[in-house]
Chain A
Amino acid sequence: MRACLWGLLLVLPLSAQHGRYESESKHPFIGQPEAIAAGAKLYGRSCAGCHGPDGSGGRGPNLVRRPMWHPLSDEKIFTTIRNGLPGADMPATNLTDDETWQLVAFLHALIGPAAENPPPGDAVAGAEVFWGKKAGCSGCHAIHGKGGRIGPDLTNIGGLRPMAVIRESVLEPGKELFLLGRELVTVKMKNGSTLRGSARNRDNYSLQLIDRDGKLHLISMRDVAELEIQERSAMPDDYAKRLSSQELENLFAFLARQSLRDHAPEGE
């Protein structure tokens, strides 16, 4: 899988726009396909050994999926590559300015939102996968208000998350161990009623639950007799088997294009 992703990244038509968002630099290499390709070579030679060929980490940290993912500024990446991190294993480099910016352009494309580098699948066919019964994505996830409310909203998923994170969330949802805020719960109330759904917040004193119909329930723990918590992700973990590789690529292409701030979403 890693090799496959690595290959994809190198051959992608990297058409990222730049300078559109506050965290982005105006450096001309950002989003420029030649610079990204040159940066990819540099990355393979100098960085992949520690950070993994697809940026997923190894001896060095995972560059793509960080616990609190947010866009790093390009200048910050530049400085880190140039100076290294004193006290950590990350060494300083003696790359030229241009080489360093090529590397930044590659990393920007790698960790940037999927919408900026949509993968080559068929997004229209991917929409059918998303809304269809076989995958059943829309039973739990909504796009533009259509679909379920139990799982995270995917209206802007391509505008928020890098492709590698979307891919991993579909294929290996069990990797995500931190479920607080998305736990599936069954709440037996002292008045005899039972509620089921996703606990958006749960603490010792209150619980806020979204049920399968998208209705919000504000619950005081004083009124709860019994609480059952599901300890694994509500996301099915069999998509690698359930869908063909073509269906998956199409689904990824569709999800990557779900972005509120780019072209109109395709495949709807």
Chain B
Amino acid sequence: MRTLLLTLALAGSLAAQVRYEDIVKGPGRDWLTYAGSYNGWRHSPLDQITPQNAGSLVPKWVYHVPNARGLRTNPIVHDGVMYVTNTNAVYALDARSGRLIWSYVDARAEKSGVNRGAAILGDKVFFFTSDNYLTALDRQSGVVLFSKQFADVNDGITSTSAPLALKNMVIVGSAGGDGGIRGFIAALSADDGHELWRTYTIPKPGEPGSETWGDAKIMEYGGGAAWLSGTFDPDLNLLYWTTGNAWPDFNGNVRPGDNLYTSSLLAMDPETGKVKWHFQFTPHDTHDWDAQSWPMLVDMEYEGKPRKLVLHANRNGFFYVLDRVTGEFLNATQLTDSVDWATGIDKNGRPILVEGKDPTPEGNWVCPSVKGATNWMGQTFHPDTGLLYILTLEQCGWFSLSSQEPEPKKNFPGGGATEEGGQVILRAIDPKTGERAWEYPMTGFGRMWTGTVSTKTGVLFSGDDDGQMVALDAKTGQHLWNFNMGELSTASPITYQVDGKQYVAVASATAIFSFGLFEKAEPLDPPKITKK
């Protein structure tokens, strides 16, 4: 009997674990990885909230995250529990009520900074501290299983991304590129955090790509940070990871050449870290246009042939379509109206440059601004509408050049940049043509970092540039509902289901909000409570 019970208990707890296969399946009731699925879609098959009833959404609960300011966290939900992060901290909440179950705060971290969320695999919840520890916590009780450092914060490396957990590993990318670092992407063991492989985004002298730098000393600190998690194709067994700008950001004179592999997309073997192909969006970038925006993995008929594509809206103002098996450049179209540094992208995928758009000592006016035509905000692909939903920013700015000698690790960007006015516009884009199906212009100051999520029923949720959550009809862009959260949103929404009820959750600057359909409250009779 005991044996039988033990077996049953084991089966019960094992079933509740998160298996790699569960994440591969994509979201259902749970939301198991940053974008919901490895392909980056931020799209859910849940169907309770529809265009017809979205008007009766109400907040179900709010959790005020201690000491929060500009939260970037993307909630993860499993088995009725939501995991959110703040800098050097994780909070497990009852996803039905927002009540705190456990928290973990690493008070002795050597650095604080933004954190984009947790990951889950097996019984472990993973997150990165700002000073580069991978910490694994028991998903039910929050006890520490291990905490292992993978990079030294004194080298200018810091961690801001959500971990990407797959198979038996956790993938991390380095942040800190604007201060002069050698960027990298690494795989760490999900069992104990030991490093399985590390691939640098900047070559060493003599390695392929080193000929694109001109100055070996600058190349050593060439940037190419990898601060946003990537996407993954389990069938091709390829990781898709974007890299940040070259360093010094605004001074290209000291690094003549394309500066590989900065501002690029890398397709990598997750078992070895080997780069199968790369594509550079902005060769020799001088405007801090990191390529950090989601590489969306979509299979569709393209120019008469079924193709495996990667769609990428870039900070430089163009929307790219590549073959994700080979990295072949297929097409690029203009993402925002205000692009003045290039007249287009040529047949090889290189920008057709406008002369005189580099930063100058007195300042040079360039569009897009340093924040970019889009950025790391979560974007959505809806398989039924076939449209890609992207938060774009119409904004220009001044770019200036400093004549100061570049000093790595001193947060020296080689100049400066401003963000002047501008408007956020949510755009639905047909990936086959790059044409806009509809637009939803927003009011605000161009300061949001929020993103989108869609449902099977055709509701698209987005934060806006004014601190509101908005529901739109994914087909038409028609407004369905909005709610004022009272502060700017700097993270992307998700959707999940617990006890048969669908919720939509998002982090505002300091709190987690969860919304659901209105239900009349039933009176509750308290149980008999005794104290002894």
In contact, A216 and B100 (Cβ under 8 angstroms): no
**Given A206-B94, A221-B524, A227-B530, A201 contacting B138 (CB threshold 8 A):** no
Q: Distance (Å) between the CB of B9 and the closest chain A CB?
A: 7
Contact call B531/A145, Cβ cutoff below 8 A? no
Inter-chain contacts of A145 with B (CB < 8 A): 138, 143-146
A225 to B526, CA, bound (A): 8
Q: What are 19 inter-chain pairs, A to B, with CB distance below 8 A?
A: A21-B108, A71-B107, A144-B146, A145-B145, A153-B144, A155-B144, A160-B108, A201-B94, A204-B524, A208-B99, A210-B140, A213-B9, A216-B140, A221-B524, A221-B527, A222-B524, A225-B528, A231-B532, A261-B108
- Among B96, B138, B144, the one with the most A-chain Cβ atoms within 10 Å of its Cβ is B144
Interfacial chain A residues near B528, Cβ < 8 Å:
225-227
In whole angstroms, what is the CA distance A138 to B169 when docked? 29
- Would A224 and B147 be within 8 Å (CB), given that A206-B99, A215-B140, A230-B532 are in contact? no
- Given known A22-B109, A215-B13, contact A200–B101 (CB-CB < 8 A): yes
Residue of chain A at shortest CB distance from B149:
A261
Among B13, B97, B102, B110, contact of A205 (Cβ-Cβ < 8 Å)? B97
Contact, CB under 8 Å: B144 / A260 = yes
The verdict on A229 contacting B96 (CB below 8 Å), with A210-B140, A214-B138, A216-B81 known, is no
Q: Which residues of B contact A224 (CB under 8 A)?
A: 527
In the bound complex, do residue A218 and residue B80 qualify as a contact, i.e. CB atoms below 8 Å apart?
A: yes
Give the chain B neighbours of A210 by CB distance below 8 A.
140-141
Q: Is residue B308 contacting chain A, with contact meaning CB distance below 8 A?
A: no
Residues of B within 8 A of A230 (CB): 531-532
State whether B143 touches A227 (Cβ < 8 A): no
Cβ-based interface call for B106 (8 A): yes
B147–A260 CB distance below 8 A? yes
Residues 98-142 of B at the A interface (beta carbon under 8 Å): 99-102, 106-112, 133, 135, 138, 140-142
Chain B residues with CB below 8 A from A22, complex form: 109-112
Q: What chain A residues lie within 8 Å of B96 (beta carbons)?
A: 206, 218, 220
- Does chain A have a CB within 8 A of B529? yes
Partner of A225, one of B9, B100, B107, B527: B527
Question: How distant is the Cα of A206 from the Cα of B133 in the complex, in angstroms?
Answer: 34
**CB closest chain-A residue, reference B104:** A153
Q: How far is the CA of A138 from the CA of B111 in the complex (A)?
A: 32
B530 lies within 8 A of A218 (CB): no
Q: Is the CB of A208 within 8 A of B101?
A: yes
Judging by beta carbons under 8 Å apart, are A70 and B94 in contact? Answer: no
7 nearest A-B pairs in the assembled complex, by CB-CB distance: A216-B140, A153-B143, A155-B144, A145-B145, A224-B527, A149-B141, A142-B143
- Expressed in whole angstroms, the Cα–Cα distance for A142 and B524 within the complex equals 37
Give chain A residues whose Cβ lies under 8 Å from the Cβ of B141.
142, 149, 153, 210, 214, 216
Q: Mark B247-271, 1 if CB is under 8 A from A, else 0.
A: 0000000000000000000000000
A interface bracket (residues with beta carbon within 8 Å of B): 35 or more
Q: Is A159 an interface residue (CB 8 A)?
A: yes
Taking A144-B144, A218-B80 as given, write out 13 further A-B residue pairs in contact, using a Cβ cutoff of 8 Å, ordered by the A residue number.
A22-B109, A22-B110, A22-B112, A144-B146, A149-B140, A159-B108, A200-B101, A201-B99, A208-B99, A226-B527, A228-B529, A228-B532, A230-B531
Which residues of A are found within 8 Å of B527, using beta-carbon distances? 221, 224-227
Q: In the complex, which residues of chain A have a beta carbon less than 8 angstroms from the beta carbon of B110?
A: 20-22
Instruction: Tally chain B residues at the interface, Cβ within 8 Å.
Output: 37
Those of A189-211 within 8 Å (CB) of chain B = 200-201, 203-206, 208, 210
CB pair B142 A227 closer than 8 Å: no
Encode contact with B along A145-175: 1 for CB under 8 Å, 0 otherwise.
1000100010110011000000000000000
Question: What are the residues of chain B within 8 A of A213 when measuring CB–CB?
Answer: 9
Q: In the complex, what residues of B have CB within 8 A of residue A227's CB? A: 527-530
B136 and chain A: residue at smallest CB distance: A145
B111 touches A200 (CB 8 A): no
Q: Which residue on B lies nearest to A225, using beta carbons?
A: B527
Which residues of chain B are near A203, meaning CB under 8 Å? 99
**Closest residue of B by beta carbon distance from A216:** B140
List of B residues within 8 angstroms of A52 by Cβ: none
- Asked if A39 is an interface residue, CB under 8 A from chain B, the answer is no
A residues 106-158 in Cβ contact with B at 8 Å: 113, 142, 144-145, 149, 153, 155-156
What's the least CB distance linking A184 to chain B, in Å? 10
Residue of chain B at shortest CB distance from A206: B97
Query: CA–CA, A159 to B107, complex, Å?
Result: 9
Q: Is there contact, CB below 8 Å, between B102 and A200?
A: yes
For B138, list chain A residues within 8 Å (CB). Answer: 142, 145, 149, 214
Nearest residue, chain A, Cβ from B139: A216
Which residues of B from 389 to 434 have beta carbons under 8 Å from A? none
Q: Enumerate chain B residues within 8 angstroms of A153, measured Cβ to Cβ.
A: 141-144
CA distance A247 to B281 in the complex (A): 64
> Considering the complex, which residues of chain B in the window 353-374 have a beta carbon less than 8 Å from any beta carbon of chain A?
none
Using an 8 Å CB-CB cutoff, how does the interface string of B66-107 with A read, 1 for contact, 0 for none? 000000000000001100000000000010110111100011
Nearest CB of chain A from residue B525's CB, rounded to whole Å: 8
Residues 8-26 of chain A, each 1 if its beta carbon lies under 8 Å from chain B, else 0: 0000000000001110000
Which of chain B's residues 206-255 have a Cβ closer than 8 Å to chain A? none
A74 vs chain B, min Cβ distance (A): 15
Please measure, in the bound complex, the distance between the C-alpha atom of A22 and the C-alpha atom of B67, giving whole angstroms.
15
Q: Give chain B nearest CB distance to A143 CB in angstroms.
A: 8
Nearest to A142 among chain B residues (CB) is B143
Inter-chain contacts of A221 with B (CB < 8 A): 524, 526-527
The smallest C-beta distance from A72 to any residue of chain B, in angstroms, reads 12
The distance in angstroms between the C-alpha atoms of A229 and B530, with both chains bound, is 6
Given A155-B144, A213-B9, A218-B80: A208 and B530 interface contact (C-beta under 8 Å): no
Chain B residues near A160 (CB, 8 Å)?
107-108
Q: Which residue of B lies closest to A223 (CB)?
A: B527
What residues of chain A lie closer than 8 Å to B135, measured between beta carbons? 260
Tell me how far the C-beta of B92 lies from the nearest C-beta in chain A, rounded to whole angstroms: 9
Q: Which residues of B contact A21 (CB under 8 A)?
A: 108-110
Nearest opposing residue in chain A for B140, CB measure = A216
| Residues of chain B lying within 8 A (CB to CB) of residue A214 | 138, 140-141
0 or 1 for each of B136-171: is its CB under 8 Å from A? (1 = yes): 001011111111000000000000000000000000
**Contact partners of B140 in chain A: CB under 8 A:** 149, 210, 214-216
Nearest-CB residue, chain A, relative to B12 = A215
Decide: A229 and B111 in contact? CB cutoff 8 A.
Answer: no
A69 to B145, CA, bound (A): 24
Given contacts A200-B101, A218-B80, A226-B527, contact A260 B143 (CB under 8 A): no
Bound-complex Cα distance A8 to B200 (A): 50
Given the complex of chains A and B, what is the CA–CA distance between A91 and B174 in angstroms? 49
Q: Is the CB of A260 within 8 A of B81?
A: no
Contacts of B108 in A (CB 8 A): 20-21, 113, 159-160, 260-261
Asked whether B101 lies within 8 Å of A260 as measured between CB atoms, the reply is: no
B9 and A226 form a contact (CB under 8 A): no
- A160–B105 Cα distance when bound, in Å, is 10
Instruction: Report B1-35 residues with CB < 8 Å from chain A CB.
Output: 9, 13
Query: What chain A residues lie within 8 Å of B143 (beta carbons)?
Result: 142, 145, 149, 153, 155
Report how far A230 CA is from B529 CA in the complex, Å: 11
What is the CA–CA distance of A22 and B111 in the complex, to the nearest angstrom?
7
